Amino acid sequence: MLEQVKARCGIAVPVYDGEISGYIEDCLEEMAAAGVPRRLLFGENSRVLTAVTLYVKAYMGNDRSDTGKYLDLYRKKVFRLTLEDDDVE
C-alpha cells in the first residue's frame, strides 16, 4: 500500500517512507475503530486506498492550508465504507 499511496501523492523519494507508513497504520486503525469492516481494510480495495491517500495528504507536511478539505473527504469516504455489510464476500 505504501508505494500506491506514494504514487497517488506524487512522492517518488524514499525519505518519507517511515512517516507515510506511520500515517497508513494510524489511518487503518482509525477506520477499524470507526466500523469499517476488517475484510475491506486488509484486502485489495481501491476505496480503502483512496481513504488512506486522503488521510496521508491531510497530514503530510508542516504548512497545509488544505488539511481540512482532505480530512472532510476522508471522513465522508470512511462513513460510506462503514455502511458495507461485513458478512458480504
The predicted-structure confidence for 60-78, as pLDDT tens digits, reads as follows 877 778 889 999 999 999 9
Residues of the chain falling short of pLDDT 70: 85-89
The span from the CA of 26 to the CA of 58, in Å, is 13
pLDDT value, residue 84:
83
Contact 56, 5 (CB under 8 A): yes
To which residue does cell 483512496 refer? 50
pTM (predicted TM-score): 0.89
pLDDT value, residue 44:
87
Contact 54, 77 (CB under 8 A): yes
pLDDT value, residue 89:
46
